[in-house]
Amino acid sequence: MSDDTFVVHTEEAELPPEPPPHGPMVWARTNLFSSVTNTILSVVFGGITLLFFWNMVGFIIGEDRRWDAVTANMRLLMVQAYPQEQSVRIWLSLAIILVLAMATLAVWGAGTRLSRYAVGTTLMTAGAFLSFLSLIATLHLVLDSRTAVWGLGGLVVGLVLAGVGYQMRQGEESKVPQIPSLMVTAVALAVPIAAFWVIQVPTPILGGGQELAPVALSTKLPLTILYLIAVVSYLVADRTIGEQERFRGPLVALWVLSFPVIVMVILRDPIIPYDLVTSTYLPIGAAFAIVGAVVMWFVADPTKKEAGLGVGALIFVLFLLSWAISVVMVVRILLLMGALFALSAPTFAGEQRARLRYAGVWFVSVVLVTYFVVLVVAESSIRSESGSFLGGLMLTFPLAIAGMALSFPLGVLLALGRTSTMPIFRLLSTAYIEVVRGVPLITWLLVAFVLLPFFLPPGVGIQGVVRAIFAVAFFSAAYLAENIRGGLQSIGKGQYEAAKALGMTTVQMTVFITLPQALRAVIPALVGQVIALFKDTSLVTIVGLFDFLHIARAVIPNQSQPFNFIGVLREPLLFAALVYWIITFSMSRASLRLERKLGLGER
């Protein structure tokens, strides 16, 4: 090369970017036919996919499908034998949950903004998929020489959706995030709600056969009202308390309270034994609350470090002694609670305000616990054949929630034990975790159902649902512990040293520094565990509880009255699979969102 070659290529500082090669042909070339192997793969697997959907749609709309077994038993699947005239209680519970959920979304500012392009892409995909399925359905129906109106309708709707989606993707500014994601969700949810008023579902006819009939008013009206409640409450919450941090604490408290209130008060409808309350529970509760509050205020004094431990140990001895005499259960529970409160007093000890707050927390806890014990002692006014007012999906959810709520503290304790420097605690935690995880859940359920009677003092019986909750919780705790341990081990040494340098005790360090960080770090794993637990609740069907799956696979196929569904197994099972799928899939998607959001906030 000669020495004086010297080239200036451009005079402008920057060439304008050109749009990349676009269009369906380019897309197909890069994604489907980029090489010979790829072309073969595309053809073969495209064919297989086509065949799969052809058969699947054919199965679903087949002439002899008994989907009426599902629609006719919808109430059973959802709430089992909960009395129909009381169903307003269920709707009320759902409304409470929805309002709380909407308030939470508003306070946390959960919504994001989506670009027109992204929404358009989703619409396009969904529309294309819908028309694809409808096309297959139409072909099936035509080949069967049955009317194909619904199939053609789906085809048209799908094409329109895809067209709208395509339009939304056009234009330069389509990639700017501007559409609120919650609005998209609301519109998307409005579709099934509206569909309930339009579509007709297979319904059995007395004496045999099925027909297409509109959805029952008792289903679609409450659902529509719930939808409207949700929308309105979000809008109201967004205007009033939207994104205000000070409402977060109360909301969490409301969530914690909502579960026992909904299950024990609203759904269970207890008949409160007022004479018992005035004669026993009120005096006991009041005495514990007032005397205890004074004691807690006294021990939560940082200068009286050993006092808390001494008082705690004393109350604990009292608790042990209480088993030797016959007292009402609530006394023992409150004594145990008192011991724990006194023992942890040094951890929360502080100035006058902190002491008063600690006493206040004690007071409220006693009131709540006493109230809860009264609720448990009270009889339920709801009677049902299976012996429990919970059933169907309305058993599956409480099982999962209660199981999670119980397993969480236990899991934390086990994780702390397993990472502790104290060998005996570590040994015991490790043994617990390994033994529980080494053995399948079904055996623990059988233990709870077959063996537990031997372990209880005479006269004490525990309901099947409660047993299942305990089995699930003890099982899940071992897995949770392992997840949390991962989080604890991921915390840097610097955190410990910093905490030590501040003069914190080991307990304070754990409660205020390491544990919160560890839990935050393992949120995805924890959500994964929640999902696993939710799926695991289906195992209670093996021990004969009337959960959602049990009704789908054991109750419906054995019905002969008023309609004959003997042997109809695949349809309810497929429906059950669909419901489980929708729930777990949304949970896993939500967890992905959460993960991304937390990740963004952190880094």
Partner 1 sequence: MLKWVAQLAFLAFLIAVVVIVGRVVASNLSNRGINFGWQWLSDPPGFSIREGIDTTPDSGARALLVGIVNMLRVTVAGIIFATIIGTVIGIARLSNNWIVNKIGTAYIETIRNIPLLVQIFFWQALMLSLKTFGEEDVGSYFTHSSVKGIALPGIFPSDGFWQWMVFVVIGLVAARYVFRWRSRLMEETGNESYALTSAIGTVLVFAALGWFLHPLFGWMSAIWGALEGLARGIPAPLYSWAIALAIVAGAAWWIRGFFEARKTPAGYGKFTDDDIFRVAFAALSGLVIAGFVIWLSSRVVQVPSGGSLEGDVTIAELIRLGAGNFWNFFENKFHGSAGSPFAFELPSIELRGAGFAQYGSESIVITVPFFAVFVGVTVYTAAFIAEVVRAGILAVPRGQTEAASAIGLKRSQYLRLIILPQAFRIILPPMGNQYLNLAKNTSLGTAVAYAEVVAVGFTLSNQTGQSLPIVLTWMVFYLTVSLSISAVVNYYNRKLALVER
Partner 2 sequence: MAVSDKDIIVCEGVKKWFGDFQALKGVTTTVKEGEVVVIIGPSGSGKSTFIRCINRLEQHQEGVIVVDGVEMTNDVRNIEKIRSEVGMVFQQFNLFPHLTVLDNITLAPLWVRKRTKTDAQERGMQLLNRVGIPEQAEKYPGQLSGGQQQRVAIARALAMEPRIMLFDEPTSALDPEMIKEVLDAMKELARSGMTMIVVTHEMGFAREVADRVLFFDYGTIVEEGTPEHFFTNPQHDRTKLFLSQIL
What's the N-to-C CA distance of the chain in angstroms? 50
Smallest gap from Cβ 542 to partner 1, in A, equals 5
Q: How far is the CB of 8 from partner 2 (least distance, A)?
A: 5
Using CB under 8 A as the binding rule, whether residue 10 contacts partner 2 is answered as yes
Taking alpha carbons only, the member of 210, 218, 217, 215 closest to residue 200 is 215
DSSP string, 431-492: HHHHHHHHS-HHHHHHIIIIIHHHHSPTT----HHHHHHHHHHHHHHHHHHHHHHHHHHTS-
Sole binder of partner 2 in the list 25, 27, 34, 520 (CB under 8 A): 34
Query: Using CB under 8 A, which of the segments 41-49, 94-102, 250-258, 369-377 binds partner 1?
Result: 41-49
The answer to whether 338 and 292 have CB atoms below 8 angstroms apart is: yes
Which residue is listed with tokens 């959920």? 101
Tokens representing 182 are 């919650």
Q: Per rule CB under 8 A, is residue 24 in the interface with partner 2?
A: no
Closest by alpha carbon to 350, among 339, 340, 366, 361?
A: 361
Which C-beta is closer to partner 2: that of 16 or that of 459? 16
* Interface map 43-82 toward partner 1 (x if CB under 8 A): --xx--x---------------------------------
CA distance 434 to 438: 6
Which range touches partner 2 (CB under 8 A), out of 13-21, 70-78, 223-231, 564-572? 13-21
Q: Do the bridges between strand 177-180 and strand 113-115 make them parallel or antiparallel, or are there none, so unpaired?
A: antiparallel
State yes or no: residue 503 binds partner 1 (CB under 8 A).
no
* Residue 31 binds to partner 1 (criterion: CB under 8 A): yes
Tokens of 124: 């396009």
1 belongs to the binding site for partner 2 (CB under 8 A): yes
Binding partner selected for residue 456 from partner 2, partner 1, none, CB under the kind-specific 5 to 8 Å limit: partner 1
Among 24, 31, 35, 153, binds partner 2 (CB under 8 A): 35
Question: Should residue 173 be labelled a site residue for partner 2 when binding is judged by CB under 8 A?
Answer: no
Q: Is residue 450 a contact point for partner 1 (CB under 8 A)?
A: yes
Whether cis (ω within 30° of 0) applies to the bond prior to 562 is yes
Place of tokens 């014990």: 373
299: exposed, middle or buried (C-beta count within 10 Å: 0-12, 13-18, 19+)? buried
Under the criterion CB under 8 A, does residue 177 sit at the interface with partner 2?
A: no
**If binding is defined by CB under 8 A, does position 427 make contact with partner 1?**
yes
Which of 205, 456 has the CB closer to partner 1?
456
In the stretch 532-561, what mask flags binding to partner 1 with x, by CB under 8 A? Answer: ---xx-xx-xx------x---x--------
Q: Is 454 in the site for partner 1 (CB under 8 A)?
A: yes
Contact 238, 102 (CB under 8 A): no
Beta-sheet pairing, 270-271 with 200-204:
unpaired
Q: Which of 179, 175, 177, 178 is nearest to 19 (CA)?
A: 175
Question: Can residue 146 be called a binding residue for partner 1 (CB under 8 A)?
Answer: no
Residue 32 CA to residue 40 CA, distance in Å, equals 9
Name the one range near partner 1 by CB under 8 A: 280-288, 374-382, 437-445, 594-602: 437-445
Which of partner 2, partner 1, none has residue 536 at its interface (CB below 5 to 8 Å by kind)? partner 1
Q: Degrees (nearest 5) of the Cα angle 418, 423, 424? A: 90
**Could you list the residues that contact partner 1 (CB under 8 A)?**
31-32, 34, 38, 41-42, 45-46, 49, 421-425, 427-428, 434-435, 437-443, 446-447, 450-451, 453-458, 531, 535-536, 538-539, 541-542, 549, 553, 569-570, 573-574, 576-577, 580-581, 584-585, 588
- Binding interface with partner 2 (CB under 8 A): 1, 3-11, 13-15, 17-21, 34-35
